[in-house]
Every structure is written in C-alpha cells, then in structure tokens.
C-alpha cells in the first residue's frame, strides 16, 4: 500500500488517478447512504421550528415579514379579521411558528396525522396531505407566496418557504413584484425547483418532474446542476437524469387546474383595475384595451358584489357588463371594449 505522502497530492491525469490509492479507496467504498427526504423534511421542520422559537429572526417581526406580501394578502387578512376567523385561530398559548395559512379547500383531501383544518387556519411545519381525484388545496406560505395543489397530489410543508412534493402538481405564485416575498423551494425526489420571482408549476409523475414557468424564471437543481427556465418554458427531468425543454404557453389547459384552486378574491369595493390585473395574473392572459378611455377609467370604477365559486376566466362575463364593458379573447390576450 502507498504511504501517507503518496496519498496527499492529487493525480495529474486519468491514468495516474486510476493508480491513486485515495481514489481507489473511495471508489471501492462507494457513496455514503443518503437520508430519506421525508425523514430529512420532518427533522428539518422540527429543528427549524425549535430554532425560530429559541432565536428570533433578525430585526424583522412576523408582521413586517407579512407586510411584504402583495395587496391581495392584505385583503385576505382583512377578510379574516372582519369575519372573526382570525380571532378564532389566534393562539392562546405561546405562539407556534406556522408556515402559512389555508386559503381554499375543495373536494377530497386527507390530512396526515391531524384533523382537517378550517379555512384561515395556521398550518404548522410538517403538515402533510393528499388530494383526491377532485381535491384542491390553496394556501399562503409565511413568505407571501400563493401555493396551490392539484388533484392527486401528495405534499408536505417543510417550512414557510419549502414544500416537499411527492406526487401530483403544485402551482406557485410568489407575487407580482419580483423579490417581494421569500424565495420558494419545491423539493421533489428527483430535484429541487427554486423560484426567481415567478409564477410556475411543478408536476411530479412516476417517471419525471416537469417545471412550467408562466412568468419570471425558475431554477431546477439536480445533482448539483442548475437548469434555469424562463417564462414560456417547460423543463422535464427524467429519472435517468436527462433534462429536456420545450415551449409552453402562459395560458390554456396546462394551467386551468390552478384557476380551480384560486384563493377567494373579494371584489366588493375594489377598483376595476385591481380586478382586471387579478384576472390577467390568474389566467396568464395579457390585458388589452380597445379604447384608451377605459384605461383612464380603470381606477375610478368601483365594483360591488361577489364572484365566489367562479373561475377567474368565468368572472369576466359576470363583472364586465356591470361596468358597461365586455371582452373577447384573441391570441393569448383578453381585449376589453365598450359594450
């Protein structure tokens, strides 16, 4: 066997490496056993919660962190407070650091190791659930991102910015202003997807992970390599490590399921402009106006009523006529015109 000195310096080429004792030793030993992601996720969530309860975040209270989220969140909170839900979910004992709040629940959803939470409930780290064939879940992570899970999904909330997706589909909207919220990481068995200020979805199937980016960009990390995807791109990572990419539209069937899990949007007292911006963001359609005066009128037109239970694209037919407007769709745009 070689002595210690021979083992210190790295080989200079492939042939030398073949005879290198350290290289041979390490190769023969093989890779170290990895930790099952679920176990890592559970322990991480528990330790993180303990760390946060022991050591507060640096000079940034929870309220300040929440204040960074988009206007829609403020609306959601206002709704919770006004409806009394917030009072009911206020902790009476020492506060548990939640990872987010539940915003919408549709169809069959099984919650692991806990009872089904009510809308507006704070969700603890390590919350895990499974959606049935008709199931949908929407929640707001502590960092401000809107996260929705489609039918047939199995997921676990690791922290206020991390989700483990075992199966199914997740849609993430980190906010209209890039960087306004904490970066979100979707972890899967094959790799992790990190948002870079964006709207994107991740779908985990038996043989692959697919990342589709609607706006901004996202990064898929696999075995130490990053694959960036800009808006309009779908990345597919297969089990054999092969990564392919193709174009994907920002609207259409690929995204429809996310509309069905959209969190409630209260239009009462909101401006037409706010409403149309919400529709555009949720549908992936661009806004165009047939008449410049409509643009000028947008902020001043105040809406009344409710659009609960309608998909964002369905609300146009209900809302626009009350404003003397109508719409038509063309090439990925929704054109607003006078009625």
Sign of the CA dihedral running 157, 65, 178, 306:
positive
End-to-end CA distance of the chain: 88
Residue among 184, 121, 143 at smallest CA distance from 57: 143
Nearer to another protein, 1 or 115 (CB): 1
Residue 26 makes contact with another protein by CB under 8 A: yes
Residue 3 makes contact with another protein by CB under 8 A: yes
d(CA 305, CA 193): 38
Residue 61 makes contact with another protein by CB under 8 A: no
Shortest distance in whole angstroms from residue 31 CB to another protein: 5
Single residue of 12, 15, 55, 133 touching another protein by CB under 8 A: 55
Shortest distance in whole angstroms from residue 179 CB to another protein: 15
d(CA 121, CA 76): 12
Single residue of 1, 115, 133, 292 touching another protein by CB under 8 A: 1
Residue 47 makes contact with another protein by CB under 8 A: yes
Nearer to another protein, 48 or 298 (CB): 48
Nearer to another protein, 51 or 328 (CB): 51
User: What secondary structure letter does DSSP report for 320?
Assistant: G
* Helix pair 272-283, 312-319: axis angle to 10 deg: 150
Which are the contacts of 262, defined by CB distance < 8 A and separation ≥ 6? 104, 138, 148, 282, 311, 312
Shortest distance in whole angstroms from residue 48 CB to another protein: 6
Site map (CB under 8 A) of another protein, residues 27-46, x = contact: xxxxxxxxxx--xx-xxx-x
Is residue 269 a contact partner of residue 317, using CB atoms and an 8 Å limit?
Answer: no
d(CA 126, CA 163): 9
For the chain, the 3-state helix, strand and coil shares in percent, each to the nearest 5, are 30, 30, 40
Residue 299 makes contact with another protein by CB under 8 A: no
Shortest distance in whole angstroms from residue 177 CB to another protein: 20
Shortest distance in whole angstroms from residue 36 CB to another protein: 7
Shortest distance in whole angstroms from residue 56 CB to another protein: 6
Judged by CB under 8 A, the number of residues near another protein is 42
Residue among 81, 150, 89 at smallest CA distance from 124: 89
The window from 53-61, 111-119, 311-319, 331-339 that contacts another protein (CB under 8 A) reads: 53-61
**Torsions phi, psi for 213 (to 5 deg):** -110, 125
Residue 7 makes contact with another protein by CB under 8 A: yes
The window from 1-9, 259-267, 303-311, 322-330 that contacts another protein (CB under 8 A) reads: 1-9
The window from 16-24, 203-211, 247-255, 301-309 that contacts another protein (CB under 8 A) reads: 16-24
From residue 230, give the alpha-carbon distance in Å to each of 23, 72, 80, 210, 292: 39, 25, 35, 14, 31
Residue 65 makes contact with another protein by CB under 8 A: no
Shortest distance in whole angstroms from residue 243 CB to another protein: 15
SS3 203: strand
- Contact set with another protein (CB under 8 A): 1, 3-4, 7-10, 17, 21-36, 39-40, 42-44, 46-48, 50-52, 54-58, 224-225
């Amino acid at each position: 066997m070689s002595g210690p000195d021979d083992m210190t310096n790295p080989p200079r080429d492939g042939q030398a490496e073949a005879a290198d004792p350290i290289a041979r030793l390490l190769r023969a030993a093989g890779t170290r056993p990895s930790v099952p992601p679920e176990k890592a996720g559970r322990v991480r969530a528990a330790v993180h919660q303990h760390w946060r309860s022991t050591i507060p975040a640096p000079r940034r209270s929870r309220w300040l962190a929440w204040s960074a989220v988009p206007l829609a969140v403020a609306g959601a909170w206002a709704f919770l407070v006004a409806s009394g839900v917030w009072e009911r979910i206020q902790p009476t004992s020492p506060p548990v650091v939640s990872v987010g709040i539940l915003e919408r629940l549709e169809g069959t959803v099984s919650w692991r190791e806990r009872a089904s939470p009510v809308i507006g409930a704070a969700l603890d780290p390590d919350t895990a659930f499974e959606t049935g064939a008709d199931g949908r879940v929407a929640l707001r992570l502590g960092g401000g991102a809107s996260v929705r899970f489609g039918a047939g999904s199995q997921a676990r909330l690791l922290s206020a910015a991390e989700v483990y997706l075992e199966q199914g589909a997740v849609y993430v909207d980190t906010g209209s202003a890039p960087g306004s919220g904490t970066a979100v990481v979707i972890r899967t068995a094959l790799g992790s997807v990190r948002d870079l200020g964006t709207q994107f979805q991740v779908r985990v199937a038996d043989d692959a992970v697919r990342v589709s980016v609607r706006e901004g960009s996202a990064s898929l990390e696999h075995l130490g390599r990053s694959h960036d995807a800009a808006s309009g791109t779908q990345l597919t990572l297969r089990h054999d490590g092969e990564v392919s990419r193709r174009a994907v539209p920002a609207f259409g069937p690929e995204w429809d399921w996310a509309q069905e899990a959209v969190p409630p949007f209260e239009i009462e007292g909101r401006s037409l402009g706010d409403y149309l911006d919400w529709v555009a963001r949720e549908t992936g359609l661009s806004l165009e106006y047939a008449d410049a005066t409509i643009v000028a009128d947008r902020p001043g037109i105040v809406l009344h009523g409710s659009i609960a239970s309608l998909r964002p694209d369905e609300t146009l037919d209900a809302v626009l006529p009350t404003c003397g407007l109508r719409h038509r769709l063309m090439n990925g745009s929704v054109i607003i015109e006078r009625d």
